[in-house]
Chains A and B, each alone.
Chain A
Amino acid sequence: MSDSPGTAVLAEGLRKSYRGSAALDGLDLDVPAGAVCGLLGPNGAGKTTTVRILSTLLRADAGRALVAGHDVARDPAGVRRSIGLVGQHAAVDEQLSGRQNLEMFARLSHLGAAARRADELLARFGLADTGRKPAGRYSGGMRRRLDLAAGLILRPKVLFLDEPTTGLDPGARNEMWDAVRDLVAGGTTVLLTTQYLEEADRLADMICVIDHGRVIARGTPEELKSRLGGDRIDVVVRERRDLAAVTEILAKVGLAEPRAEPAVRRVSVPVEERVAALGDLTRALRERDIAAEDIAVRRPTLDEVFLTLTGGRS
């Protein structure tokens, strides 16, 4: 691992325990400048702990981390001048209006034109006409946008987003995704945690799957899909009563236990070599005189990759 100028976030062997139980168990991370890294993991995997260590809120028990070239333990002030943090819950003063919040955080970040910066961000996130309404009376989506605006006040080099869309309705989620894409176009490095595979798939250039405080797989979404699980075969049968027989056949053809979805009369299984597997499958179906409505060879969804990696827990 290197800490070349092209690296925005570097973590090596991060460990953190709470009362003897390990939240982080030797976590490594290497995010190139300008990338969007998705930290994907189930609840309790250690995502928030990682973000809190990298944003200087928490001290690691062991390991080291550099953010925008500053060591989080030795130069927390340097890190704080380079980052924005949008936590899991909107961290704004609910008794202040959006503008008052942003002006306060801008002043505290020692920016010259605090009022102008606040106006810019309010306009950019569609909050310009919220007037004096206190943030406590904002909708969930508005509060999230205000929180994101607060995280962007000092034009951070690295932005941490901890589950930015958890609890948002689909409309607000799409707005958040658009906002993140805009940021990336502006060159900001983003480290985003999520439990949603779809989110990581849509936003991230690279994904680190973490579980039990360690990175268990990393790569682009495409790489993860092709490297893990390989191709899959889906069979949709005409008659629901054929499901059991097809499952039996696929168990012989495939690499793992087939997954049956009776509601859509579908069975699917990962395969090693798709042409051979497809041959075996069609022969077996003909022998048993089973009518398939559809047979498809496809790449696994990130969902399936994730389930494989985390052992079915999610």
Chain B
Amino acid sequence: MTAMLGRLGWAVADTWTITRRDLTHWVNQPAQIVIGLLFPVMIVLMFGYLFGGAVALPGGGDYREFLMPGMFAMTMLFGIETTFAAVAGDAAKGVTDRFRSIPMSGSAVVAGRSVADLLNSVLGLAVMVVCGLAVGWRFHEGAGRAAAAFALLLLLRFAMLWVGIWLGLVVGRPEMLAAIQILVWPLTFVSNTFVPPETMPAWLAAVAQWNPLSATVAAIRDLFGNPGPAGASFAAEHAVALALAWPLALIAVFAPLATRRYRDLNR
């Protein structure tokens, strides 16, 4: 019992040490994190003001109010790149091996990564909320439903964390980040993030509607009371359920895959 508590104590302490390592990166290389935080802001400005004027929402409503929930979810999706780069970088540089050769808690490597990446995403969300408020976005359904929306966003980020860890361990080469970005971008565009799927050709609309990202975006538009497509598809009607189900399904698949991959590093 005391041995177990002792181990748990070390796991917590080691998790904090690994988390602090990432926080130290932020302090040491502030430019890197600032660029990461400002990139989605740039996209908001680009779409909100440059392209947005040309978008007429089928159900009416302000485009920037429509856009912001999509941007929140996109920021969570981009987290996959942060996680991937960190995990692949550690594997390639031998830092992962160093962790595996010292008497630290093995689970702390992943737990510390989770805490650091979630903190990073909370910060990213905060920046985006400020940005949203500045461009005229509001939440209209009360603080409780807004909090639920942010919880759904962090759930999506948590799912992306496991996908990112798995990809990072499998690929193991940080220079492949560009390839990951090429995969992430279409996922963002073929969704309800920038335009309502109703405006797309039917086959593309079907893909966009079933995109996990769309589930979260549709759900939080509803929770924030922002304009969204009025469509009567199954995906649109069960948005919140899907915004829970998709990330949970991804976690159920990728958490065991990533864990097994980590354990199999000794093969």
Contact = CB atoms under 8 A, between A and B. Distances in A.
Interface string A149-175: 010011000000000000000000000
Contacts of B108: 108
Counting chain B CB atoms within 10 Å of each CB, the highest count among A93, A109, A134 belongs to: A93
A117 to B, nearest CB: 13
B14 A108 contact: yes
A301 B21 CA distance: 48
Interface stretch (B49-57, B97-105, B145-153, B230-238): B97-105
A96 B103 contact: no
A202 to B, nearest CB: 26
A95 B25 contact: yes
A87 interface: yes
Contact of B24 (A83, A91, A96, A108): A96
A147 to B, nearest CB: 9
Contact of B93 (A55, A89, A104, A132): A89
Contacts of A132: 28
Contacts of B2: none
B94 interface: yes
Given A90-B94, A108-B14, A57 B100 contact: yes
A97 B10 CA distance: 24
B265 A96 contact: no
A78 to B, nearest CB: 9
Q: Which of B18, B21, B98, B103 counts the most A-chain CB atoms under 10 A from its CB?
A: B98
Interface string A103-123: 011011110000000000000
Given A89-B94, A108-B17, A80 B101 contact: yes
A91 B266 CA distance: 17
Nearest to B104: A108
Contacts of B266: 56-59
The majority secondary structure among interface residues of chain A is loop
B21 A57 contact: no
Contact of A77 (B24, B25, B99, B103): B103
B95 interface: yes
Nearest to B100: A57
Contact of B98 (A59, A81, A94, A105): A105
B152 to A, nearest CB: 32
Interface size class of A (residues with CB under 8 A): 20 to 34
Interface string A48-62: 000000011111000
> Size band of the B side of the interface?
20 to 34
B97 A110 contact: no
A100 interface: yes
Given A96-B28, A108-B99, A110-B103, A91 B17 contact: no
> In the complex, which of the residues A55, A77, A104 has the most CB atoms of chain B within 10 Å of its own CB atom?
A104
B28 A104 contact: no
A57 B93 contact: no
Contacts of A56: 100-101, 266
Contacts of B98: 85, 87, 91-92, 105, 150
A83 B100 CA distance: 12
B102 A154 contact: yes
A56 B266 CA distance: 8
B267 A104 contact: no
Contact of A59 (B20, B25, B29, B267): B267
B19 to A, nearest CB: 11
B21 A87 contact: no
B93 A91 contact: yes
A83 B24 CA distance: 27
Interface in A34-72: 55-59
Contact of A80 (B17, B29, B103): B103
Given A96-B28, A108-B14, A57 B95 contact: no
Contacts of B101: 55-57, 80, 83, 85
A80 B99 CA distance: 10
A16 B73 CA distance: 46
Contact of A91 (B21, B95, B103, B265): B95
Interface of B: 10, 13-14, 17-18, 20-21, 24-25, 28-29, 93-95, 97-104, 108, 265-267
Interface of A: 55-59, 77, 80-81, 83, 85, 87, 89-97, 100, 104-105, 107-110, 132, 134, 150, 153-154
9 contacts: A58-B266, A85-B101, A87-B94, A91-B97, A92-B95, A93-B21, A96-B24, A104-B21, A108-B102
